[in-house]
Chain A
Amino acid sequence: MIADAGLTIAVPRGALFRETLDLLDGLGVDTSEIRGNDRKLVFPDVGVVTMRPSDVPTYVEHGAADVGVTGKDVLLEQAQRRVYELLDLGFGYCRMVVAARAGDDPLGEPLRRRGLVRIATKYPRIATTYFTGTGRQAEIVEVKGSVEIAPLIGLTDAIVDLTATGTTLAENNLVEVEQIADATARLIANPVSHKLKAAAVDALVERIRGLDIVARP
């Protein structure tokens, strides 16, 4: 369905990995080798390459993969990537939120007294766009991991991060104060592949729609 149609699909390792492989199973792709081997990254027999979720748009934009699966959060953060977004796959649901230590007015007070709010995040573009769009001055501090500790030890007033269940936030005594966007897994395509391999791409989209996992508007 992928390789024999002349397509290569970029599959994200990480939170979306299992469900993406389940999706491929549903399309009749043999994923046993991929599941059994977490060091090998390229599986040419089945037309699959695996990578970090945030690298998927990069490979697809350059045409190194024709299609790929990644989170809407990644696509929002890399909005400059020229990739086509074909389907909302429905799985991997989570929310991009502003979270802060529980308190009366975690954002209002720093804004009032200091003129800006400090935000730690792995998503500087989403955070900047959101705070600019809501008319608030923010200093965005980019961190690479465990963003939850930033407000706890006084690096920032709040964080912008992705949450599925809210468990990690709660364990770190953080509460969600604002919701920015919903995110689910998306099927993306390289613009040139979308045109030059139109039949294969369309057949893939139709097959996935037929699996009845896809979110409907």
Chain B
Amino acid sequence: VIHPLPTGTRDVLPDEARELRLLTDRLRGVFEANGYGEVQTPALEYEDVLRRGDDRAAGAAFRLFDDQGRVLVLRADGTIPIARLVANRYADAPLPLRLDYFAHAYRAIERGAAQEREFLQAGLELIGAPAPEGDAEVVAVVLEALTAAGLRRHRIGLGDASIYPMLLAQAGVPDAERATLLDHLARRDLPALETDVHRLGLSPATREMLLAPTSLRGGPEVLERATGPLAIAIENLRQIHELIADRGGDADRLIFDLGLVRDMSYYTGAVFEVYDPAVGYALGGGGRYDDLCGRFGRSLPACGLALDVQRVHMAQLEEERLG
């Protein structure tokens, strides 16, 4: 008899476990060398505590009750528990705090590419360092860690979660419509975005302003193509790029993506997504979350990035296969 496992979970046998171990050791080595210290938090937390960070508790999907009838959730990301940890354990600590973690997170899945209910994240969080220096450090360390892990063609997309809401406000789009347009952009349903933008009866210049970010992505030259209010919004990204180049980081691996939207509600500034041309989905992501720690009691600027270890491994194998 074969005893089933829940869909989206799996066993790891020694050959693969050895490779995953090597991969995480290399990532951890780079994190530690850059002054990050590993923390571990419980997989189970009180739901009402995680909801302080994000009203969907970062998309937590698995809940149970303890003997007191309180609702527990399996964490769906690493960032909210760390914001909680910082408030609890580092209330007066000198800043910035550099923390990293290697831990499983749990989400609901749908049928699709690389969907796992249980997935191992390798993340780092830099707390108490404002933009743009903090963002530049996190991105540079992750680029270095992926190179150390053996990837050769990895790239990081760099966007800003505040850009599109700012453009929507600037364009005078009614509040009720903003969420719809943001959703179209997040899913990149460009025909729907175009149709809805045209329906709003805006001037041609304003329409163009709302549609431009969808195709503005690429090397530093795309920043030259950003005009009007967009030109101000990208100043932050330009500085992050410069700082990464200044610290000898792999700035060539950055892709500016002015339409990049991440699905966590807590991002307030720069957002990141990690790619490798060998696989069709992002290997990880993150961003700046300057309001999150404050929701747990210690208001601090912060940013972080988490890699999906399994996907990084997949990219490694594919790069090997493609040569």
- Interface residues of A, Cβ cutoff 8 Å to B: 60-64, 80-82, 84-88, 186, 190-196, 198-199, 202, 205, 215, 217
**Whose C-beta in chain B lies nearest to the C-beta of A190?**
B280
Q: Are A192 and B112 in contact, with the CB atoms below 8 A? A: no
Q: Given A82-B112, A195-B257, are A63 and B279 also a contact pair (CB < 8 Å)?
A: yes
Residues of B within 8 A of A82 (CB): 112-113, 281
Query: Is B60 on the interface with A (CB-CB < 8 A)?
Result: no
Interface residues of B in 207-224 (CB under 8 A from A): 215, 217-218
A55 CA to B255 CA in the complex, in Å? 30
- Looking at A186, A190, A192, the one whose CB has the most chain B CB atoms below 10 A away is A192
Tally chain B residues at the interface, Cβ within 8 Å.
29
Q: Given A61-B112, A81-B112, A82-B281, are A194 and B275 also a contact pair (CB < 8 Å)?
A: no
Q: Given A80-B110, A195-B275, are A87 and B280 also a contact pair (CB < 8 Å)?
A: no
A72 CA to B154 CA in the complex, in Å? 32
Interface residues of B in 275-299 (CB under 8 A from A): 275-277, 279-282
A81 CA to B275 CA in the complex, in Å? 18
Looking at the assembled complex, report how far the CB atom of B262 sits from the nearest CB atom of chain A, in whole angstroms. Answer: 12
**Whose C-beta in chain B lies nearest to the C-beta of A199?**
B218
Residues of B within 8 A of A88 (CB): 191
Looking at the assembled complex, report how far the CB atom of A109 sits from the nearest CB atom of chain B, in whole angstroms. Answer: 35
- Interface residues of B, Cβ cutoff 8 Å to A: 110-113, 155, 157, 187-192, 194-195, 197-199, 215, 217-218, 255, 257, 275-277, 279-282
Q: Are B111 and A84 in contact, with the CB atoms below 8 A? A: no
A186 CA to B190 CA in the complex, in Å? 10
Looking at the assembled complex, report how far the CB atom of A67 sits from the nearest CB atom of chain B, in whole angstroms. Answer: 12
Quick one: which of A84, A192, A215 contacts B275, CB cutoff 8 A?
Answer: A192
Looking at the assembled complex, report how far the CB atom of B319 sits from the nearest CB atom of chain A, in whole angstroms. Answer: 13
Q: Are B280 and A61 in contact, with the CB atoms below 8 A? A: yes
Residues of B within 8 A of A63 (CB): 113, 279-281
Q: Given A84-B190, A217-B194, are A196 and B277 also a contact pair (CB < 8 Å)?
A: yes
Residues of B within 8 A of A64 (CB): 280
11 of the cross-chain contacts (CB-CB < 8 Å) are: A60-B280, A61-B281, A63-B113, A63-B281, A81-B112, A84-B187, A84-B188, A191-B282, A195-B257, A217-B194, A217-B199
- Looking at B111, B192, B257, B277, the one whose CB has the most chain A CB atoms below 10 A away is B277
Quick one: which of B113, B157, B187, B276 contacts A61, CB cutoff 8 A?
Answer: B113
Residues of B within 8 A of A217 (CB): 191, 194-195, 197-199
A61 CA to B280 CA in the complex, in Å? 7
Q: Are B191 and A85 in contact, with the CB atoms below 8 A? A: yes
Given contacts A64-B280, A82-B113, A217-B199, 14 further A-B contacts (CB under 8 A): A61-B113, A81-B112, A85-B189, A88-B191, A190-B280, A191-B188, A192-B275, A192-B277, A192-B281, A192-B282, A194-B217, A195-B157, A202-B215, A217-B191
